[in-house]
Every structure is written in C-alpha cells, then in structure tokens.
Structure 1
Amino acid sequence: MASLITKILAFVFQNTAKKEIVLSLSAPKDFLYKEAISFEIKDTDIAKEKVVVFLEEQLKKDLILHDGKIIFDDENPSTIHISIPFKLNELGNRRHYRLPDISMLGKKVLVICESQQVAQSIQKMFKYFLYDIDVGYDEYKKSGSNLMQYDILLIEEKLITEEFEDLVAKVQEDTSLKYVLLENSNNHSVEEKNSHIASAHLVKPVLQESIYELIISLFSEDTKNRNIRVDKNKIIINIENYINKNFENSEERFIKKDPSGDDLPPAKQKNKSEKVVLDIAGGEKNAKQVGLSYKKELKKFLEHFDHSDIYFRQIVSEKSTWQIKEFCKDLEKWSKVIGAQRMLNFADEVSLLFVYDKLDTLPLYTAKYHVELKKLIMEINHYLSLV
C-alpha cells in the first residue's frame, strides 16, 4: 500500500506546477466494518493523456495486487482517483484510531483554512470520530455566529491577527474552547509567538493519525478529571472582522447575551433538556409497574440487541422498509421499558423518516445507532456489575 501511494505522489509532484496537493482518503459515512476506501487527488492540472498512461500502465499491477480499481472522472480528467477494498485482516489497522474514552467522540469543530481542499480533507478526518464540523465563515454564520458552541477552533496560522487571539483568549475565559493552529512544516516561529494562546499545533500535511493524536492531547486531561463543559455566556461574533484585517472598535462585533433567556437558538434549547443514556430510576419504575425484574429486563435487552448495529446496517443497505419499521418498533418498546431515553429518541427519529418521506437519509443513521448502542451497552453493563 505504501509503495502504491508513493508512486501516485511522486507522479503528481513531478508533473504538476501546483505548490500544494491534497490526497483525500474517504469511505462511506456509515463505515462500520467492511468497506472500500477511496484515494483521490483532485484537479492535478496534468494532461489527461499523461494521467491515463500512468494509471493504466504504471499503476495497474499494484492495483491488481490490492483488488483495487481506477475511477475515471470525465468532467475532471486530471483527477487521480482509485478505490481499494478493506479486507478483514486490514480492518484491525482501523482500530489503531479507536479513542481511549467515549467522551472524546462527537465534539463540535470550526475549521478555517485558506485552502478549501485542505479544510474539506480535515473535515473528513474529524468526521471519522463522529465530530460535527463547520467549515468556513458561511457555515459559522449559519450556526449562529456563536464561538462558544465549539469544542475546537482550528485555524490556519497565516490568517490570525493579534486582535483575533485576544478575542479567543476572552472566549476561553468563559469556556473550554481548544484553540489549534494549523501551520506549514517549514514554519518554526509559530510556537514561540503563540504558545500562550494555542492549545495545540497541527502541522501540514495533516494525516488521520495527526487528528487522532490531536484529539487525545486536547481532551485526555478533561477525560481524566471528568471535566464538564459549562458555557457562562453566549457570545455572538463576526470573526471575519478579526481575521487578516485591520482591527476596528465596534460594539456590534462583540455582543454578550444571557443564555437563560428565550433568545437561545433551537439547538441550545434542546440541550437544556438533553436525554440521558439510561434512566435507571425510570426503568426500575416501569419494570415494577408491570411486575418485572429490571435486572432481568436489562439482560434480555443485551441478548436481543447486542451487535444489532450490524443487522440494522444490513436492512438499511437492503432498503428493507418493513424490517426497518419492525426493528424500530421493537427498539422503541424495549428502550421504553428499561429507560433508555436516548435510544428511545433515536427510534422515534427513524420512525419519523417514514412519516416525512425522508428514507433517503436512513444510511446516515447506521453510524449513529452504532455509537448510541455502544454507549447504552456500556451503561447497562456498568449497572449490572454493581447490583
């Protein structure tokens, strides 16, 4: 595999005038077990004839060894795109990027880069860990221009200003925002200049391993101490005014509002009544009302639903509408009995897709179910170990 990638990169660097290229690795959003991985370098600016000769003559033997295939893009003939399947013995490598604590999953990130390709590549790497990522100013504005909603702010070093860093420092006084600088490998002055502000530095080229190590370095202390994120204020900021532009004093740029008011965005209001993974008191009450043993019901749930994420993914992939409906009914019934609030919400969400004719979005829910099921099973096993 290393030889294959080296050949591709060597060919591109020798034949393109571009100063920076991005090799993107991607897999389906619902990647859980066995899939094909895609390697792609977009718009190399190399003549189509050269690309075709390279792919079909120089790369073909290597691809045959890996059961890979070439994907031609008629609209962008200079793009190099290959697909290679993961085999069972290769899937173990994927486990190297299993985060040590489940609380490190599902964070919210704002990424601001000069290159859209670099930003999108970083976005894909964060999504591997089920992160919610906003890329660029437009997505930041759509999310309410509230810098305090993010767990990580990742910005390219060349875009920052002194005023921007003062702003970040002010935000960090009220929240646990992690501030990460993206820098070029030949830049040696950044760490000295910004070490009192930045939580970490990320050096190009960014790899999946880099993101994995970054997440652990940022959140290992929080996980160890079980720190809970608390937002004291809601801060609305037009960050474009602070990045690579002359700073001008303006009250409109920095506004603090009391988060207890009715002006909270829907996402924030929802968080106020966020459901727990396992409501033990509620579950015990439910079981008692119908004359059942709560402990036995939890064990039955494990017997019935352990590894059901594989089955759910299969029926979604096969578009088995009736089976998906029945699965959701079953999941809803059991979740209600044992007090699995988040899982009950999940079952309701999927059921609503049938009501609103949004079945095309079902594949997005397989990874979500995988994560929710793992959380719930952990909670159940923990409870059973104590009783």
Structure 2
Amino acid sequence: MSKIYRFLLLVFLLVQAATAGTNFIILDSGDDKEKIVAQKKHYEARLEQDKTVESLANGSKFQAVIKKVDASYILRVGPFKSNDLLALVYLKAKESFPNAFILEEKNLVLKSEPIIQTVEKKIYIDREVAETKGDDPLWVAMFALAFVGIFFMFLSSEQMKRMRLEHEKIKLKHESLELKQNEALSSMGENIQIIAKETMNHTHQLAEKVKETPLYDDVEKVMNNENELLDVTGDLVKFLRLKSKKVVIQHEVFNFNHVLNEVAGLLNTKYKQNEIELVFDIDKDVPKYMMSDSVHLGQILINLLEYFIQNSQNKEVKIEVTTVKEKKKGLNLIFKINADINIEDKETLFNSYYDEESRRYVGLGLFVAKELTYLMGGELDITDKNYESTMLVFTLHIEVQNNEKRKYRLPDKDLVGKKILIVDRSHSSALATQKLFAYFRADIDILSAEMFSEQIPDFTQYEIFALSNTLFTTKVFGAIEQVKKKQDFKIISLENLFTSKDIPLNKHVDIRLKKPLTQEYVFDTLIKLYTVKEDSKKSSEENDGTELMVYSEAFQDTPNITLESFHSLVDAHILIVENDIVNQNIFLEILGKSNIKVSVVNNGQEAIDFLHDVQEHIDIIFMDINMPVMDGYTATKIMRKESRFDQTAIVFLSALASEHEIEKMLESGMNGYLSKPLKLEQLYTALKAFLNQVDPLISPMYVPSPMVFEGLNVEVGVENLNDNIIFYKQVLQEFMDAYSQSGSIFEGLVREQRYGQIKVLCLDMKGLTGTIGAKEMHIIINEIHQHLIYKKPELLHSYVKIYQTKLDELTRSIEIYLEV
C-alpha cells in the first residue's frame, strides 16, 4: 500500500509541475550593460537589508540574473513557484524598480525522458503488488491518499491565509508609500502659496518690531531670502525634467575640486548662520580630473548633504571621498557621508511626500538625488554605524584619462616637506586638513584646542602654524610675533565657511583658509604663502580710463529692479558660458526679451572656439568656473592673451566666492563676479557697470498690458511662485515637455483599464495644474481622481474627450504666454 501511495503522490506532483507556469520578475532592460550590472548590485544590496522578504522566503534565494537577448540585456529575478512569494517580492521590487513587471514561462518538465522512465518503473512495481493482494487495498490507499491530500490542503490553506495576510500588509504599506510620494506634487499647488505667505507675513511682522534697532539689517536680508520657495520650485523643475526624460547624462572631463567648491558655496548660501562644520575628507588617490557628469554629481551631493546638515545633532557633517580600482577601465568614486542622525525608516527615506502637520515638503531633494544617481549608473546605500550615527554611501563609476601619480606638483622643491602645526576645534576637520597637507610630504602635528588653550607650544620648531580663528588671542599673537622676528614663520587662520562670526585678521596672519578644504585649495595656499604677489590690474578707483574697470568686491543690488528694467538695454552682445541648462534658461529668460543679443556656450573650450569664429565685438562674457572640458579660469587666461578681448568684460559666476577664489579670478583676468544663485538686482548692476547705458529706471518703464489666457490664470500661477516670473515660466515649459501629450496617454490607460497608472497621472497633474493656475484642468483632474477613489472606473470613458479638449486649451495658452 505504501508503494501505491508513493506512486499516486508522485503522479499528483508531476501533474502539478506540468500544469504550473514558472514566473519571473523583470526588473530592468536596456542596451547599456554597465547600467544593468549596477541595477543588479542595487537589487542584491536591497535584498540583504530586507528582513521581511528574508523571513518569508523560508530559505528560497531570489537571485537576479542578467540575460542577453539580441543586443539588449534583461535583469530578471526568479523563478517563483509560489504566487504569494511572487507578489511579495514584486511589491518590494517596485519600490526601487518602478518599471518592473512579471513574466510567466510555461514549464515543460513532464516531457523529459528520465521522468517518464522513472514513472514507468514505479507503475510496474505497484501493479505487481496489486495483483498479489487484490483490489481492496488499492481502494483503501486511494481513500487514504484523499484524506491525506485534504489534510495537507487544509494546512496549506492556513499557511496561504497567513501569507496572504502578510501580503496584504505589505501591499497596504506599499500603497501608503506610493500615495505619500505622489502627494508631494498633488498638494504642491494648494500649499506652496501658504508656505510663501506664512514666511513673508512672519518676517514682515518681525521687521516692524525691530525697525529702529540694529537687528533690522539682518531681518531685511531674511525678507529678501527666497531660499525655501526656490528649493521647492527648483526641485519641482528637476522632477519635471526627470518625468519628461529630458535629463541627459554627460560624460566629460572636469576638475573635481571645482565641483566640491560649488557644492560648499551653494550650501553656504542657505546655511551660513547654522554654525555647521562641513568636512571634506579627501583621500590622496582621488584624481584631480575625472570623466563623468559634473553638474548632476554636484546636484546629488548638494541634496544629500543638505539632508544631513538639516538633521545632524552635533552640527558636524563629514564626507569621505575615496576611490577603488575596478577590473575594467576606470575607478569607483566613493562618498561616505557621516553624521549623528537616527533614521528610523530607511526604506522610505528617498520617497517624497507632503507633511500635513508641519506643512512642509519632505524628501523631494532626496528623491531627485536617488533618480539622478540611478541615471548615472551609481548606487546609494544607508547603514547604521551605531544607534545615533548614520552613514550614507554614494558610489559612482568614473574614468580617468591621465593617471599621473602626482596630481598636484609644487613649482619649487622648497615648498615640499614643511613642518606644520594644526590646531582646530574640530578633530575631524584637523585630521582632514592633515591629510591634504601630507600629500605634499609635510611633517604635521595636531594639537587639540583644549591642550592649546592650556599651554601655547613652542612655535620655533614649525614653519607653518594653522590655527582656528576663534583661538587667536592677544597672548597667542604675542608668541607669534616673537617667533616671526627670528624665523620665516607662516600663520594660517582656519575659518568655517558656515559660521556667522567674522573675526578681523591680525597683521601677523598671512592667509585665511575657509573650510571645508580641497586638495587644490591647499596646493594654491602653499604657493601663495611663499610667493610675492604683484598687482597686474588696476582697481576701479585708480583706473585711468584706458582699461575696463575691475571690481574685486561683490556687485551691489540696484533697487526696484524687475524684468521690464532690462528692456531698455540695447546694442550689446553678451556671451553666456555655462553648462547648467537651468542657469542658461534663467539668463535667457531675463535677457531674452531685451534688445541685447545673447549667445550661449557650454564650456570654456566652446567659448574659445565661438570667439574665434564670430566677427563682431562681445561686450560682456558671463563665465562660470565649474565647467567640464575647460573651466572658467583656463578659458579667461587664454582670452586675456589676445589684445582684441581687452575691451571685453569678463564677469565670473561663482557659488563659493571665497577670498581664495576671488583672488584666483582676479589673477586669471576677470573684471567682476556674480554670486550663485543669481540675483536680478546684481545682474542689472553688472550690466550697467560695463555697458555704460542710461539707467532704464530714469526713462519710462515698459509695462505690458494684461492678457487673458483661456484655461490659464497667469496671476494666480505667478503668485503661487511668490511673484517669481522666471521660475513660473520655467515650470510652464517643463510642464509642456512632460505632460502636453498626456491626453493620448490618458485615453490609452482608460482603454486598457490601467487604473493604477491613471491614479498616478492624476496625482501628478492635480498638483501641477493647481500650481500653474490651470483651474479648469485642475477641476477635471480632481473629478477623475474622485471616481477612482470611489471605485467608479466605468465613468472614466466619458472624460477622455473633455480631458483632451481642456488640455489643448491649456497648452495653447501656455504657448502664447511663453511667446509674449
């Protein structure tokens, strides 16, 4: 009987195997093998971290495998025999791979020859037993088998219930995360104005209270600060560019130091009063020049560091930069960001949503950073160092053209091997500074601020002394003065870029360094300390009229400037040298409606080529520093060697604008600089300084007559963006690129009954139409969304035509508005 049972059970299992399909999850596909390999590593890293999947898998391994089909590569996971496990892993995979889908392949195992032979052998044995004992045991066996089958089915059903319950929990969590993420846009139009007005009202109330006090100047600066709103709008523009697949990853050579300087400068613009200690801990093997996308690398670092700066408990954020050689060509550039932060839910960290309680947007910048990282083929990983310390690891593959062992070569051997003492309040910062000077074979001692305060060391054994600016005292300066009388003793003041304190320099201080430091910054410092400076340019005060003015200070704001103020500028040709397309658009929007001719190139080399090809005179060149192929310093030096550019003003665009950077700009041949992010009032001042034209504020200002646009309330849209017309037009343009064809998409989704996709489209469009002032389209989208919420998808067919009609009206109005 046992043999009969085994035989029937085997047949039952074989039939099950024959009728079942084998399911796989397709995570990604494409022609770029490196990207697919990076996605495979990302999946494996997420799988190791996911305890839920690991526990429910019961020993199963969901390995990701890359298959080549024709010229494409497919990343798939499986096989899955259990539908519950398939659903579980699929839902988890969708969090990181939004384009994932399920593929079923039929199992033909029953047709294999070995299985058939085994079955035949068992049939022969069981038949022999049956003939010797009669038919009754066979019936008993069959009934027993039925009973055992029912029993196992009962157990299986209970297990299935538990699995389905767990599955439903995960599904609900997934839907909640998806809803929060999409609400970042759906509530954008309804809440962005609240943030702006609330901030402005509180600030103006405070300004009235302190109007007659010394605090008024500081409050006035806050009144002019639109950082919060610009962050929301800027991230929205980037989000739309990602949605419309307009983000193109470049692969060009750039100076890594310039990227770090721009990151520090832009963060300083927002967090100068935070007293944060930002540390760049750069390994000696990190190359000076590398090949990747400098703009998007900088954007990722800014967004990641901004999160850590906002949430760090001890006001210190350190980013370690190292490299690891790959077997194939190139290096892995690894950024490790460390701070005292306790992140409770790492799975949702990069999902953006609107927090109703605080009425603030959460995670939009991190969401953009994550998407850009994956587009660049990089990886992001979060790990806990201990209970209250977190490390984020950002890995990016780069290529290096020139693999020189010495990336920075000092011009004189006497500059190598200096004996240096470093005293800094931040131990992490002191170690990072030590590493940068050690590259030049310096012999370095580090002394803590506490020990230094207790007893001043013997300075005579050192050639360079780097001291935190807050530790300089009368007693310290006295000791320094005594040493300087006997030997060549250089003093460096270490200053924090993010501090509100500005301590005047003593005559004995040779140079001040603004932290965080880079390797090139230290390289320039060593040369400057032992080089006699010669003034080659005349300042604006001593200019005799034969040369263009040189402004070493920042341009002041010209009051009451609007976009219309630029309309009176005429008969000039301006060249914009800038590789960031968003900044290019800002310049074009400001100057595009004036009577100034504007040309745009993407880097210094393109600027040199353009100037050699063009015959007419260029009045002003706005030159960015951080650019691939050729940076702003190099391009300016080349231009200044040719006399035909003597009457062309070169105005640098700098995010950092530190004393060190301003000196480098002056040495390269600049006439002035503008700080990033660009301010309308300072740009106007710079133009007026070099074009020598009549102040347009004196002549009648051009005031455009109000226009009515069908389906678009421009006044509401501009007001939602705090009367920032430039950003409003940018958002409109990006909206057109991302959603002008959404009518046909909506029709196809309705026809195919893909209601989940329609829901995502509604959430996106609901927030965007509210933001730009498209009320009629907003109402239609809201109605469609309500029908989905109340489970009435059969009504969606009636909205296909009206959706397209209202969208056509809106896009026509946007096109007209952008033209005028």
Higher strand share: 2
TM-score (normalised: structure 2): 0.23
The structure with more radius of gyration: 2
TM-score (normalised: structure 1): 0.46
